[in-house]
Amino acid sequence: MLQLPQNPDVAIVGATGAVGREMLAILEQRAFPISKLRLFASPRSVGTRIPFRGESIACEALEHGMPSGVDLVLFSAGKGISKEWAPKFRAAGALVVDNSSAFRADPACPLVVPEVNPHALAAIDLPAIIANPNCSTIIALVAVTPLHRAIGLERMVAATYQAASGAGAAAMAELESQAHAFANGTPMDTTIFGRQYLFNVFSHNSSVGPDGYNEEERKLLTETRRMWESDAVRISATCVRVPTLRAHAEALHLEFARATSEDEVRALLAKAPGVQVVDDRAGNKFPEPLAAAGGDDVLVGRIRMDHSVAGNRGVALFVCGDQIRKGAALNAIQIAECFMPAGAGPKGGVHLTSRVGTAVGAAR
């Protein structure tokens, strides 16, 4: 597998959005080595300056920035922008990690969660486009994949409780504005979802197909099968929006090929990368969106046998993960880290000096 330079030139497309800004924060937190950073945004945000490592970087318009001389591009600007510009950056020699749905079904573009299928990157030659899966799929599979590998999952029934963050910064702002409007007794802005979001739960706002499943629900099926490289697993999902700002929650009912136990499931989850077990029955403490928000791990709890499945083959879980971080920005950066030379960046804990900032501290 070809690697990025020790100190790559990096670009973020969609830098002013919720995920784009989170990408910047994570790059700084993980001391990702960068030689030069370019930020691209919509025309209305051109000239907006964003702080990074002690500097202030102005956002550019893609139309005015030739996509040459960039080693790594992180996209979070929507499907249309990705379809138009990601191939241009790849043609100019860059590794592109795309956060939209534009390339998730493209067999030439790996669909990757590093904790789930890092082997999909082994045969990739740079330049390339790599797709980030859907946020709800990422959060579910970080928790379920170690169980699937050890016990063999045959069926998963998922119910997701998805935060405003999944619809972007504007949706988060609308939910906050509705809370203020309720407190002040004034009319609520319903521009984003066309309905009151505060104190409400409604079906996910993606399009519904002729079979009655919406796009978000279909992604859990198709993306899981692609990353697990198997069409055998049976999946049914119901995805809804809940009035939380950040971090998605999911209730997962799992049916395995053989008998298992709570002890086995707990032991597998306790050593799984990217998972934190939060399962205190006595204290009634389990995963919550507020606890998951701002964190990198997927929180897993409510671990119990599902007695509706015969032969001790059923397990129920409740999981929470930060959609903006692990469900989007963090996963993209973890993919990029897989292409960094040994000893560089977060994994090596090195000190670097960037042209866009001052000395970078040792990685966590």
Nearest Cα neighbor of 224 from 263, 258, 246, 250 is 250
192 and 209 together in one domain: yes
Q: Give the pLDDT score at 361.
A: 26
Instruction: Print the domain residue range for 249.
Output: 136-324
150 and 51 together in one domain: no
Q: Give the pLDDT score at 133.
A: 97
Structural domain includes residue 1: no
List, as one string, the DSSP characters of 241-274.
E-S-SS-EEEEEEEEESS---HHHHHHHHHTSTT
Please give the positions annotated as active site.
Answer: 135, 248
* Spacing of C-alpha 140 from chain mean position: 11
Query: What is the rounded distance in angstroms from the CA atom of residue 301 to the CA atom of residue 279?
Result: 4
256 and 111 together in one domain: no
Reported as type and span, the H/E element at residue 10 is: strand 9-13
318 and 243 together in one domain: yes
Nearest Cα neighbor of 235 from 141, 162, 102, 116 is 141
Structural domain includes residue 219: yes
285 and 354 together in one domain: no
List, as one string, the DSSP characters of 183-213.
HHT-PPP-TTTSS--TT--EE-SSPB-TTS-
156 and 303 together in one domain: yes
Tokens of 183: 């407190």
The residue whose two tokens read 């389990």 is 286
Structural domain includes residue 4: no
Residue 271, number of CB atoms within 10 A of its CB: 8
151 and 279 together in one domain: yes
- Counting the structural domains of the chain, the total is 2
Structural domain includes residue 166: yes
Nearest Cα neighbor of 95 from 114, 116, 67, 119 is 67
183 and 300 together in one domain: yes
Please report, for residues 4, 55, 166, 337, 362, the alpha-carbon distance to residue 351 in angstroms, rounded to integers and kept in the order given: 18, 18, 34, 16, 5
Structural domain includes residue 217: yes
140 and 120 together in one domain: no
332 and 316 together in one domain: no
Q: Give the pLDDT score at 357.
A: 28
Q: Give the pLDDT score at 354.
A: 29
Structural domain includes residue 215: yes
Percent of residues, the chain, with pLDDT higher than 70: 93
- List, for the chain, all residue ranges whose pLDDT scores fall below the cut of 50: 347-364
Tokens of 256: 């395995």
What CATH number has the domain bearing residue 174?
3.30.360.10
56 and 126 together in one domain: yes
Please report, for residues 95, 163, 177, 197, 202, the alpha-carbon distance to residue 189 in angstroms, rounded to integers and kept in the order given: 40, 18, 7, 10, 17
96 and 212 together in one domain: no
Exposed, middle or buried by CB within 10 Å (0-12, 13-18, 19+), for 57?
buried
- How many residues are present in the chain? 364
Structural domain includes residue 251: yes
Structural domain includes residue 211: yes
- Give the chain's radius of gyration (CA, Å): 21
**pLDDT tens digits along 65-83:** 667 889 999 999 999 999 9
**pLDDT tens digits along 236-271:** 999 999 999 999 999 999 999 999 999 999 999 999
List Cβ neighbours of 69 (8 Å cut-off, separation of 6 or more): 9, 92
What CATH number has the domain bearing residue 38?
3.40.50.720
